[in-house]
Amino acid sequence: MRKIPRLNLHSDINKKYFGKDFHWGISTSALQTEGAFDQDGKGLSTWDVFVEKRGKILNNHSHKTAADFYNLYKTDIEIIASLNIPNFRFSISWSRIFPNGIGKVNQKGVDFYNRIIDLCIEKNIEPWITLYHWDLPNELEKKGGWANREIVNWFEEYVAFCCQKFKDRIKYWMVLNEPMVFTGSGYYLGVHAPGKKGLKHFLPAVHHAVLCQANGQKIIKSIQATASVGSTFSCSYISAFSNSKKNLAAVKRSDALVNRLFIEPALGLGYPIADLPFLKQIENYMKPGDEELMKADFDFIGIQNYTREVVKHKFYVPYIKAKPIPANKRKVFHTSMNWEVYPEGIYEMIKQFDKYDGIKKIIITENGAAFPDSIENEKVNDSQRVHFISNYLEQVLKAKKEGLKIDGYFVWSLTDNFEWAEGYHPRFGLVHIDFETQKRTIKESGVWYKTFLSNQ
């Protein structure tokens, strides 16, 4: 097994090397933490429906209570303040604001986000909002969801409303969270809500997400010219299982799908059809003038990195003809998600994104790890997570020292939470949650991050 080198608090990873303006933060999302799925007038989201289908979520867990952030937000924001974390990234639940997706507003939902924002500001924490982190109002899914082009209008109404309401206190916006994952897992593989499968759902969903990503950026800027607007992208460095010609070609195709599909149209480069020919079919969903509508002028790009993939050519895998080899099969050090711990990958991805013209700033909006944490004597000794974060940060620092446009780092996540199809099993938090009692326990990694952030 590949070992992570042990680092301690006296290792040479120090906040001061990243510079005074570097953004340090912590990330969460609404569906994974809020619970209260039907409290105070919230409408159903696609996930509220999806978790009811047996066998979709590990152990048939449901996010309906999650970390009860809806009711315990004060405690959690106080924890963020106590850990000296200056930036808090969270998402808005669309169906809490618009129970039907469009039309009637749920004022209690608006009040909830006002309370969060106000408390952050009172505690000197900068709130960063993600507008869409995978929880589509179910009423919109009934009309086809992301596969219906009408979503561009629905999303515009929602984005414009949030921006108008919160612009007096919000400076940083992210339009979408990881569109590759919510379209791929939700509309191709069927393993995330809404559970749809096949290219006929996936390709229109991709195209409409690209249009929404760009339109969202433009809408926010038109309402709030001073805002800093980004969007977030999942990315994993991809290596070949061996250097055979076929495996190297499989890497190229996988990279086009995993790392390039959403950023390149935003930058005016179109879809990476040359390296992934089946994407040509996306043109069936395009209208004249769409190339222009796909472009976005982001102030920053959020990249979210956890692992790398090692792929092999596989003829029988439809379209992509490549297959990732799971970390346990490769016998490499991995987390509870069976994701290889590969710190160099974050550096490679920063470098890859930095090469594009038109990217002004890169922020790591998510990085973190799930390990099997347990409470002993009121403490959680999660030194593996401390080592994970420090090792990845060393690679971020390497990128920074080379002059790449890296400008911030957010840990995923504040608390243990509902990890989508994996339920509550993987624990990503710097804060442990007992999901029976909702008791919070700050892990050793939380204390480590606090100490790290307290360095001048």
Active site residues: 178, 366
Instruction: Please state the separation of Cα 304 from the chain's center in Å.
Output: 6
- CB burial of residue 232 (10 Å; 0-12, 13-18, 19+): buried
The nearer residue to ligand GAL, 13 or 176, going by C-beta atoms, is 176
> 202 vs 339, which CB is nearer to ligand GAL?
339
Residues 14-43 interacting with ligand GAL (rule: CB under 6 A): 29, 32
Q: In angstroms, what is the minimal distance from the CB of 197 to ligand GAL?
A: 20
Whether the CB-CB separation of 394 and 405 falls below 8 Å is answered with: no
Find the shortest distance in angstroms from Cβ 417 to ligand GAL. Answer: 8
Q: Report whether 143 contacts 102 (CB < 8 A).
A: no
Q: Is 412 in the site for ligand GAL (CB under 6 A)?
A: yes
Applying CB under 6 A, what is the total number of residues that bind ligand GAL? 12
- Judged by beta carbon, residue 234 or residue 390, the one nearer ligand GAL is 234
CA dist 64 and 188 (Å) reads: 25
Check binding of 419 to ligand GAL (CB under 6 A): yes
304 counts as binding ligand GAL under rule CB under 6 A:
yes
Give the integer Cα–Cα distance in Å for 325 and 348.
20
For position 181 contacting ligand GAL by CB under 6 A, the verdict is yes
For ligand GAL, the binding residue among 138, 185, 215, 234 (CB under 6 A) is 234
CB of 31 to ligand GAL, least distance (A): 8
- CB-nearer residue toward ligand GAL: 32 or 395: 32
Identify which of residues 80 and 240 has a Cβ nearer to ligand GAL in the complex.
Answer: 80
Site for ligand GAL in 187-216 (CB under 6 A): none
3-class SS shares of the chain: helix, strand, coil, % to 5:
40, 15, 40
Residue 45 touching ligand GAL (CB under 6 A): no
HSE-CB of 4 using CA atoms within 13 angstroms: 22
- The pair of three-digit structure tokens given for residue 158, joined into one six-digit string: 């929602």
366 binds ligand GAL (CB under 6 A): yes
> Would you say 94 or 428 has its CB closer to ligand GAL?
428
Name the minimum Å distance from CB 162 to ligand GAL: 19
Torsion of CA 161, 167, 172, 173, to 10 degrees: 10
CA atoms within 13 A on the CB side of 249: 11
| 3-class secondary-structure state, position 384 | helix
Binders of ligand GAL among residues 138 to 157 (CB under 6 A) are none
Q: Is 415 in the site for ligand GAL (CB under 6 A)?
A: no
Stretch that binds ligand GAL, among 64-72, 173-181, 319-327, 383-391 (CB under 6 A): 173-181
Cβ atoms of 24 and 389 within 8 Å: the answer is no
Q: With CB under 6 A as the contact rule, which of the stretches 42-50, 174-182, 371-379, 393-401 interacts with ligand GAL?
A: 174-182
CA separation for the pair 145, 187 (Å, rounded): 10
Q: 73, 24, 47, 228: which is closest to 133 by C-alpha? A: 47
Give contact residues for ligand GAL (rule: CB under 6 A).
Answer: 29, 32, 177-178, 181, 234, 304, 366, 412, 419-420, 428
